[in-house]
Chains A and B, each alone.
Chain A
C-alpha cells in the first residue's frame, strides 16, 4: 500500500506547471553576465568582416578600387559582387519571392547598401580598411515616396526586372510596382459604400520604423575544410530556415551545415530575415578557411536591416445612421524599399493585413495592397507582431474613431455595438478568417469599469471647457483600443516560408531517474521558453518543471521548426510540446498498467501519476514509470520513454484585448504625460502569469515608442535621418509609465492546452491606444486624423492647424 501524502495540491504545486509564476531558469546566467551571445563567441584565428556601405540612396557604381585597402597590413581580402558572381551569390532570394543584391551589382538602391565586404584580422584594422576602399559613384534621381514611384515617368529603380510584367505575386502594373494583393469582395463592398447612410473616409499612415533589439544582428561562420562541415552561429529567429537557405544557396548538403542560435538579445522580427552579412561571412570563411565574424553596428542596423510598417492605408467605413457597420474598404500603398524582402508566409505578400476587420462583425469588406519599390532599405518585417497585423489593427481602430466622429457618437459605444458577439464564435470574417474564440463584450465592459470611463469622460469635458476659458493649456485624451490578433502561423495548408510548412516540433526524452530533456524548433529571444515550455510539459507529463531541460536553437540536435516570431511559439511549438507530452503519457499508461497488473482502461491520470480507478492508494508515479521503462522488459512495449511531435495547427489563434490610455497633453509644448494605462489581455490559457505580464509591459513600451516618436525617416535624397539612438526614439525608464495589467481567459478551442500567445498583443493593441489618446484629446476641436509618430513638434502642429495657438 502506498502513502497518499503529499496531497494533490502539494503535488501540483511541486510541478510548477501551467498557471504558475515560475521564476525563470535563464536568469541565473544572465544576471551574472554569463550569457552567451553571438559577439561573445571567440575562436582561434577568427577573422572579422564588415561592409563598405553606400552613402547614396540611388547611384551607379562606376568602379571599386581595393588596392589601398589590400595594402594595409592585417587585411585578408575585400569581396565585391564580381567575386561572388562566379558562385552565383552576388544576389540572393528573399523570403518574399524577390531577389536582393548581396553586394552592389552595378548600382546601389538605398543608403547603407552593402557594396564590398572587407575581411581583416580584427575590427580595428577592418574599420581602417573600409576607409581605404575607393568607390566611384554616379548619382541617380532618388525616390522615397511610394506614390511618386508609381508616376508614369518615375525613374526605373529595379533595372534587373526590366520587361518583367509579373512577379512572384502576379501582375506588375508599373516598373516600380511589385504586386497587387487582394482579399474580400471588392464589388459588394463598393456597392455597400456607395449606398450607405454614413461613410467615413480617411488616409491612415503607419510610418516606417524598426524593431531595433538591443543586440544588433551578427554571425560567426566557420567552414571546417577537413570535415567539410559549415557551422554558423548567429542571431537567427529561425535557425532551421537559415540552414535550408544556406544549403540551397551554397550547394553544401544540408547535413553538413549546422546552424546555432546562441542567446539572442531581443529579436522583435529583426532577426528573421537572411542578410548579406550572413552570406558574405560564409563565403569569407570558405575562401579563407578561417572562422569569420560579422557584427552590425547600430547605424548599420537601423539603416540596412529590417524596417517595419510604412503602409499608407486609405479607408472607407460604411455604417447605418445608428452606428451599425455595414462595410469596410481599404486600399494600401505599401512602401517595400529597394527589394521585396518582407518576411511573410509565401501566400501572404501583405501578411495578415486582411485581418483589418478587427474585432467587429462587418458583413462585407475589401482589401487591396499595392507593393511598391522605393530607394529605401528592404525589410517589412513583423516588428513584434504577426505579419502586418499591427498595421491592420491600427487601421481599423483609427477608422472606428473616425466613424465615431462622423456619427457624433461615443467611440466606446460604437465599438460595443459592432463587436462580434460571444455566441458568434467560431466566426468567419468577411475576409475569410475563422476566429476561434472570443468574448469581447465582457473584456470591454471590464476595461471601461476598471478605468471609470464615464467619470473620465466627464473630467475630459470639463477640461475642454476650462481650456476654452483660457484656464489651462492641457487637454486630456482617452485612447481606446480593442484589438484582435491573429497569431500562431500557421496551418501548413496555407502557411509556408520558402516552401517550408509552418508547423513546429518538440522532441522529449525522459531519463531513467525521472528528469527530462525537451528540444524544440523555436528559439527564445527573451520570451523565457526554457521556463514556459517546461511548465507545459510538467503539466502534461507530471514531472517537475525544474527537472526538465529545454533546448532550442541548434539544428544538429533540435527537430526541424520554423522558429520564433509572429507569436507562434506558444500556439505552435507549445502545442507540439503538449502533444509530445501526451504521447509520453500514453506509453506511460501502458507501462503503469503492466506494473500495477490492471488493464490500461482501469487507470486514470492524476497530476503526476497513474492511479487505479476507485483505488487511489494503488498508483505509479511518472518517475517510477520512467525508471521501469528502462529497466524492465515489458511485453509488447519498446524500452525507453521518448516522443516527438510535429504539430500542424488546424487554425490560427486569435488573442484579443482591451486597452485604455489616459493621456495629458500640454498643447503649448506638444509634450505628453501618461496618467494611466490599463491593459486587459485575453491570451487564452495562461501558462506563466509573471512572464505574460512582463511581455505586456515590454510590448506596451515598444508601442509607446512607435506611437510617440520612433521612426525611420529619410530626407528627400534618401539619407536616413534617424540613424542613431539619439534620434531613433527609445524611451528610458523616465519616459515610460507604470502599466496596470488585467486579463480574461477565453481558451482556444483547437489548441491542446487552449493557449493563444501574448508576446505581440501589447504592441498591436498599444499603438492605437496611444495614438487614439492623442487624437481624442483634440477631437473636441475638430481633429480627425494626424499621422504618427506623435512627437512634440507634430503635436504642436495639430494644435497649430486647429488654431489653438496665438503666436502665429
Chain B
C-alpha cells in the first residue's frame, strides 16, 4: 500500500497556502492530520500531485471561548478537543463525541477541520456540528466567508467548500443544554453503524429546545428538524421519544454495508436516537 508520488508544500501562512491551491487547481489538496487522506492515497483511491501541509500555519490552531462563543481552529486535533477543560465546560458534547472517534493514535493526529471538511458521511464531527448549529469559516482567494454547518454538506465527499478554499475555524455557541452523543460501532476504531447527537433544554418538566443530528445514516450528516420539533413542548417521555424517532427515521436513507442491512440501520438509528434523547434529557 504505497501512494503515488507527489510534490510536497509546507506553507507558513494561510495566504501562501491559498496561492499554492490556486496555482495547481485540481492537482492540489491540503493535508491536516492525514488520517482520512493518507489511507485513501495509499489505496490509490485519491491522487494528489501536490500536497499542501497545513501543520505550520499557526492561525489554524487553538481553542478560544469568548462571550459565550466557542472558536476552534481547524488544525485542533481530536486529542486536544478531549483534553481542553474550557471546551469541556462550554460544550461537553464535544468531548463525549471525540472520545468515540477512532483510537488514541488517530485522535492525536486527526483534526476537527479535516473531520468536518472531509465530507465522509462516516465522520462523527459533521453530525455534531449540525446539532450545535456551528458555522465554518472558509478562507479563499477572496478572503473569508462563513457557512452554516447545516448548509455545508451536499453529498458524500461533496461540500460547499470551493477547491481553492481552506477551512480555518469552527464556531458555535457555548451551551448548558442537556446533551448526548450515542454511537453504535463494531469496535474501537470503527465508524458508526448509527450515531445520534442530541442537545435539548428544559423549562420545568417541558422541553424548550431540541436539536437532533445523525451520523452515517445517509450520504450526508442529517439534521432532523422534525425529530427536534417532536420533542419541543413535551416531557420527553416515551410517546415524545417515539414521535421524534419516527421523524428522525423519515429523514435518513442508510445503505447496506458490512455493518448490516438497511433494516438493521433503521433499527440501530432508532435505538441511538431514543437513547441519546433519554440521556440528554436526564442531563438537561
Chain A residues with CB under 8 Å of chain B are 123-124, 127-128, 131, 297-299, 668-671, 709, 713, 721-722, 726-727, 729, 731-732, 734-735, 791-793, 796-797, 800, 805, 807-808
Q: Could you name 13 residue pairs across A and B whose Cβ atoms are closer than 8 Å?
A: A124-B2, A297-B1, A669-B184, A726-B189, A726-B190, A727-B258, A732-B188, A732-B189, A792-B186, A792-B193, A792-B268, A797-B264, A807-B270
> Is B260 positioned at the interface, with any CB of A under 8 Å from its CB?
yes
> Is B267 positioned at the interface, with any CB of A under 8 Å from its CB?
yes
Within 8 A of A (CB), among B130-185: 184
Determine if A735 and B258 form an interchain contact, defined as CB atoms under 8 angstroms apart: no
Known: A131-B44, A729-B186. 15 other contacts (CB 8 A): A669-B268, A669-B271, A721-B258, A722-B258, A726-B189, A726-B190, A732-B103, A732-B189, A734-B188, A791-B186, A792-B193, A792-B259, A793-B261, A797-B264, A805-B267
Determine if B4 and A128 form an interchain contact, defined as CB atoms under 8 angstroms apart: yes
Expressed in whole angstroms, the Cα–Cα distance for A298 and B43 within the complex equals 12
Expressed in whole angstroms, the Cα–Cα distance for A299 and B187 within the complex equals 20
Residues of B near A299 (CB, < 8 A) are 1
Known interface pairs A128-B4, A727-B258, A793-B259; A735-B193 also in contact (CB < 8 Å)? no
A708 → chain B closest CB, angstroms:
9
Residues of A near B46 (CB, < 8 A) are none
A796 → chain B closest CB, angstroms:
5
Determine if A793 and B188 form an interchain contact, defined as CB atoms under 8 angstroms apart: no
Residues of A near B270 (CB, < 8 A) are 807
Known interface pairs A124-B2, A793-B259; A807-B267 also in contact (CB < 8 Å)? yes
> Is B19 positioned at the interface, with any CB of A under 8 Å from its CB?
no
Residues of A near B190 (CB, < 8 A) are 726
A730 → chain B closest CB, angstroms:
8
Determine if B2 and A123 form an interchain contact, defined as CB atoms under 8 angstroms apart: yes
> Is B263 positioned at the interface, with any CB of A under 8 Å from its CB?
yes
Residues of B near A670 (CB, < 8 A) are 264
Task: Name the residue among A729, A793, A808 with the largest chain B CB count within 10 angstroms.
Answer: A793
B7 → chain A closest CB, angstroms:
15
A491 → chain B closest CB, angstroms:
42
Expressed in whole angstroms, the Cα–Cα distance for A780 and B114 within the complex equals 49
Determine if A671 and B189 form an interchain contact, defined as CB atoms under 8 angstroms apart: no
Expressed in whole angstroms, the Cα–Cα distance for A670 and B5 within the complex equals 44
Expressed in whole angstroms, the Cα–Cα distance for A659 and B49 within the complex equals 56
Residues of A near B259 (CB, < 8 A) are 792-793
Determine if A792 and B258 form an interchain contact, defined as CB atoms under 8 angstroms apart: no
B241-277 vs A, CB cutoff 8 Å, 1 = contact: the mask equals 0000000000000000011110110111011000000
Expressed in whole angstroms, the Cα–Cα distance for A395 and B101 within the complex equals 38
Known interface pairs A297-B1, A792-B193, A805-B267; A729-B44 also in contact (CB < 8 Å)? no
Residues of B near A124 (CB, < 8 A) are 2, 5
Expressed in whole angstroms, the Cα–Cα distance for A435 and B110 within the complex equals 56
Question: Which applies to chain A's interface (DSSP): helix, strand, loop or mixed?
Answer: loop
Determine if A127 and B186 form an interchain contact, defined as CB atoms under 8 angstroms apart: no
B37 → chain A closest CB, angstroms:
16
Residues of B near A123 (CB, < 8 A) are 2
Expressed in whole angstroms, the Cα–Cα distance for A796 and B184 within the complex equals 13
Least CB separation from B1: chain A residue? A297
Determine if B184 and A792 form an interchain contact, defined as CB atoms under 8 angstroms apart: yes
Residues of A near B261 (CB, < 8 A) are 793
Residues of A near B1 (CB, < 8 A) are 127, 297-299
Known interface pairs A722-B258, A792-B193, A792-B260; A729-B267 also in contact (CB < 8 Å)? no
B248 → chain A closest CB, angstroms:
13
Least CB separation from A733: chain B residue? B188
Determine if B267 and A732 form an interchain contact, defined as CB atoms under 8 angstroms apart: no
Expressed in whole angstroms, the Cα–Cα distance for A805 and B268 within the complex equals 12
B246 → chain A closest CB, angstroms:
10
Least CB separation from A124: chain B residue? B2
Determine if B260 and A793 form an interchain contact, defined as CB atoms under 8 angstroms apart: yes
Residues of A near B267 (CB, < 8 A) are 796, 800, 805, 807
Least CB separation from A791: chain B residue? B186
B181 → chain A closest CB, angstroms:
15
Expressed in whole angstroms, the Cα–Cα distance for A727 and B190 within the complex equals 8
Least CB separation from A728: chain B residue? B258
Known interface pairs A123-B2, A124-B2, A729-B186; A668-B271 also in contact (CB < 8 Å)? yes
Expressed in whole angstroms, the Cα–Cα distance for A578 and B188 within the complex equals 45
Residues of A near B271 (CB, < 8 A) are 668-669
Residues of A near B184 (CB, < 8 A) are 669, 671, 792
Residues of A near B44 (CB, < 8 A) are 131
Residues of A near B5 (CB, < 8 A) are 124, 128
Expressed in whole angstroms, the Cα–Cα distance for A123 and B42 within the complex equals 13
Known interface pairs A729-B187, A732-B189, A807-B270; A713-B263 also in contact (CB < 8 Å)? no
Determine if A796 and B2 form an interchain contact, defined as CB atoms under 8 angstroms apart: no
Cross-interface CB contact of B187 among A131, A669, A734, A793, cutoff 8 Å: A734
Expressed in whole angstroms, the Cα–Cα distance for A617 and B2 within the complex equals 70
Least CB separation from A123: chain B residue? B2
A66 → chain B closest CB, angstroms:
19
Expressed in whole angstroms, the Cα–Cα distance for A670 and B261 within the complex equals 13
Expressed in whole angstroms, the Cα–Cα distance for A729 and B4 within the complex equals 29
Least CB separation from B274: chain A residue? A668
Expressed in whole angstroms, the Cα–Cα distance for A644 and B187 within the complex equals 50
Expressed in whole angstroms, the Cα–Cα distance for A123 and B259 within the complex equals 34
Residues of A near B260 (CB, < 8 A) are 791-793, 796
B263 → chain A closest CB, angstroms:
7
Determine if A731 and B258 form an interchain contact, defined as CB atoms under 8 angstroms apart: no
Residues of A near B263 (CB, < 8 A) are 800, 808
Expressed in whole angstroms, the Cα–Cα distance for A800 and B267 within the complex equals 10
Residues of B near A800 (CB, < 8 A) are 263, 267
A122 → chain B closest CB, angstroms:
10
